[in-house]
Amino acid sequence: MLPFIDLKHQYGRIRKDVLEGIEKVLESTHYILGAEVQELETKLSEYTHSKYVLGCSSGTDALLMALMALDVGPGDAVFTTPFTFFATPETPALRGATPVFSDIDEDTYNMDPEKLEQAIQKVIQEGKLTPKVIIPVDLFGQAADYQKILPIARKYGLKVIQDACQGFGATCPCGKIAPSMGDIGCTSFFPAKPLGCYGDGGAVFTDDEELYKKMYSILVHGRSANDKYDNVRLGLNARLDTIQAAVLLAKLKIFPEEVEMRQVVAKTYFEELDGLVKLPVIRPGYRSVFAQFCPRSPKFHEIQDALKANDIPSARYYPIPMHLLGAMKYLGYKKGDMPIAEACAADIFALPMHPYLSKENIQKIASVIRSVVRG
């Protein structure tokens, strides 16, 4: 079976560094907030040019910490996309805020700035909620259109939390590196991410010292900056394990090279699948890290069956838009409210994507798809 994501191949490259890093942690016995966590935060800060970085326990907790730092709560509207992983709307809902969805761009699958502004204006006109935060998502590895989203946020006095859980390392025409494009950036180090650890992990990024101090406190049960037993606010137990930081330090060494390798893999996919399926669009001046490669086709069922018959795995992200999930029923959305997201969800599928995918295997994948599409 062709691997969907080849973590074993990657491990073969970094095995020595990973094992030495883990052994160092084991010898130190500093399993929680050891020196490797701070070293990782420093290197992530250098890589993204963010002033402040905090490692945490997951991308979900990163989003939750960001929302808590911005004092998001009941009566607040948090604007986001209906085409994402559930953690994006789940975290504001956990804070008692109201997720407000706006439809997506059909080519990039990311938040449509024009529809975002319409959603903000509607909430203002209704007068029931206070517009508070925008959470764009860098879906499948491409940064959202922050050059348009940020001015909208400033116009209405909103903060922006960049959900770069799939987009760490992506760049846009402004030259910034995800997740450094919003007031707070969040990422995930889930193993399948472009930069992933060997368990759960995440991080928050900001240039705002006050927000950093609040998230530093929230990270460990609302601790004081001077006394860990002086809890000054409600917080979380959201620390990044030292062993996971050691793994990430080894992976970060090869991450820039792997991003380059992902460009080659994606380019081959674009060439081989041209005319067979609807391909994702990478906007001029943007660079995706291609966390996933997700085309669309009305024949996706047949394509996936044919791929499976040839020992090629595939997946689907995301077959149910967020506004139609059972957990979001209380918001009152119905089918047809987000037509572009719903259309994408109806026929999108994901192909194997990782830096070590060979041209020959991509050609094999394309050959199977061609046989279905062209009979």
Q: Which of 242, 239, 245 is nearest to 65 (CA)?
A: 239
User: b vs e for 56-94, b when ≥16 Cβ sit within 10 Å of the residue's Cβ?
Assistant: bbbbbbbbbbbbbbbebeeebbbbbbbbbbebbbbbbbe
CA dist 185 and 163 (Å) reads: 6
Q: Which of 177, 113, 140, 145 is nearest to 284 (CA)?
A: 145
CA proximity to 233, closest of 212, 247, 249, 219: 219
Q: Measured between alpha carbons, how far is 120 from 78 in angstroms, rounded to an integer?
A: 10
* Residues facing 186 on adjacent strands: 163, 204
> Could you write out the DSSP letters of every residue in 236-280?
-B-PPBHHHHHHHHHHHHHHHHHHHHHHHHHHHHHHHHTTTSBPP
- CA proximity to 132, closest of 163, 157, 101, 111: 157
CA distance 8 to 99: 38
Beta bridge partners of 293: 351
Which range is least confidently modeled, 37-51, 163-177, 218-232, 323-337?
Answer: 218-232
The model carries a pTM of 0.97
Decide: 361 and 313 in contact? Cβ < 8 Å. Answer: no
Q: Work out whether the CA dihedral 203, 207, 212, 215 comes out positive or negative.
A: negative
| pLDDT at residue 176, rounded to an integer | 96
pLDDT of residue 227: 85
Q: Judge whether 168 and 179 are in contact, CB under 8 Å.
A: yes
- Of 128, 144, 147, the C-alpha closest to 136 is 144
For residue 164, what is the enclosing H or E element?
Answer: none
Task: Say whether pLDDT at 226 is over 90.
Answer: no
Q: pLDDT tens digits, residue range 46-76?
A: 999 999 999 999 999 999 999 999 999 999 9
Cα distance between residue 109 and residue 340, in whole Å: 9
Structure confidence by residue, pLDDT tens digits, 317-344: 999 999 999 999 999 999 999 999 999 9
Summarize the confidence of residues 186-212 as an average pLDDT. 98
Give residue 33's pLDDT.
96
Tokens of 90: 């789940």
Mean pLDDT over residues 265-287, rounded?
A: 97
Q: What is the mean pLDDT of residues 285-308?
A: 98
Q: Please name the amino acid found at residue 230.
A: D
Tell me the C-alpha distance between 372 and 169, whole Å: 35
Confidence band of 228 (pLDDT split at 50, 70, 90): confident
* Coil/strand/helix, residue 122: helix
Give pLDDT, residue 205.
98
H-helix or E-strand containing 15? helix 7-28
Tell me the average pLDDT across 96-104: 98
Q: Are 204 and 56 in contact (CB under 8 A)?
A: yes
Q: 135-168 pLDDT, tens per residue?
A: 999 999 999 999 999 999 999 999 999 999 999 9
In this prediction, residue 320 carries a pLDDT of: 98
Radius of gyration (C-alpha) of the chain in whole angstroms: 21
pLDDT score of 375:
84
- Mean pLDDT value across residues 31-46: 98
AA identity, residue 56 = C
Residue 194, number of CB atoms within 10 A of its CB: 26
What single-letter DSSP state applies at residue 330? G
